[in-house]
Amino acid sequence: MSEGSQSKKSIAALRREYSQQALAKSEVCEDPIDQFTEWFEQAFSADLLDVNAMTLSTTTKQGKPSSRIVLLKGVDEAGFRFYTNYGSRKGRELNNNPYAALCFYWAPLERQVRIEGEVERLSRSASEDYFKQRPRESKLGAWASKQSNKVSSREELEKRFREIKERFENQEIPLPDFWGGFLLRPQRIEFWQGRESRMHDRICYEQSGSEWNIFRLAP
């Protein structure tokens, strides 16, 4: 058997049982943001690495998808906030098709949260408020990186960073026009709790007007 075949066989054999907790429809919060906040705080208290890391999936106008990990930077009744370069691939795709999906996976807790909804840009003032909180080096990086554009080398990136650093030496670094926040307004949120024998618990919230319908899905 070739090394490649052995590797594929090993991947197919990977599995484990999920048995830590259960999730009952009768026990979840009436509002999915409250339920998310409860789970997020539990994940944070468990000292998980990158607890606010989430997969953001976007699509082109033609429906071609792309995904990447970004960081959640705020959540409230309005929705989920994150920040990026508007000229990046995700920024361009959200501009052309303002619908997206988020996915959190907290493996040690055997939990997953999937979120779908419409996306809009945050106001410039909201983006400025967040940008001011960023470390100075991160602000410089936002200016230096033409995110998702081709570059000839690492040296080109570092040269650009040095130029930006010199440009703003001994100055406050302003918010770039091409950088800012997005808000995903959720229309559907699913909470997944791993269970034994792959009989996982899946509780879904779906928006209907100003109300949320709550139902269980088969695993």
N-to-C CA span, the chain: 35
198 is catalytic: yes
Max Cα-Cα span within the chain? 63
Closest to 183 measured CA to CA, from 136, 126, 143: 126
Amino acid 148: pLDDT: 87
Q: State the pLDDT at residue 206.
A: 98
Q: Where are the domains of the chain?
A: 18-134+176-216
CB atoms within 10 A of CB 35: 21
pLDDT at position 1 over 70: no
User: In whole numbers, what is the pLDDT of the chain averaged over residues?
Assistant: 94
| Rounded mean pLDDT, 46-67 | 96
Question: Do the Cβ atoms of 72 and 52 come closer than 8 Å?
Answer: yes
| pLDDT at position 5 | 58
What value does the mean pLDDT take over residues 38-42? 97
Name the superfamily (CATH) of residues 18-134+176-216. Electron Transport, Fmn-binding Protein; Chain A (2.30.110.10)
CB 98 within 8 A of CB 120: yes
Q: What is the pLDDT of residues 14-31, one digit of tens each?
A: 777 667 789 999 999 999
Q: What is the DSSP code string of 111-147?
A: EEEEEEEEEEEPPHHHHHHHHHHS-HHHHHHHHH--T
CB of 104 closer than 8 Å to CB of 54: yes
Q: State the burial class of residue 56 (Cβ atoms within 10 Å of its Cβ: 0-12, 13-18, 19+).
A: buried
pLDDT band for position 4 (cuts 50, 70, 90) = low
Span 55-83, average pLDDT: 97
- Look at the block and give the residue holding tokens 């650093």: 165
Q: What are phi and psi of 207, to 5 degrees?
A: -75, 135
Region 77-95: what's the mean pLDDT?
97
pLDDT digits (tens, 9 = 90+) for 116-173: 999 999 999 999 999 999 999 999 999 999 898 899 999 999 999 999 999 999 999 9
- Annotated catalytic residue within 124, 136, 167, 198: 198
Structure pTM? 0.90
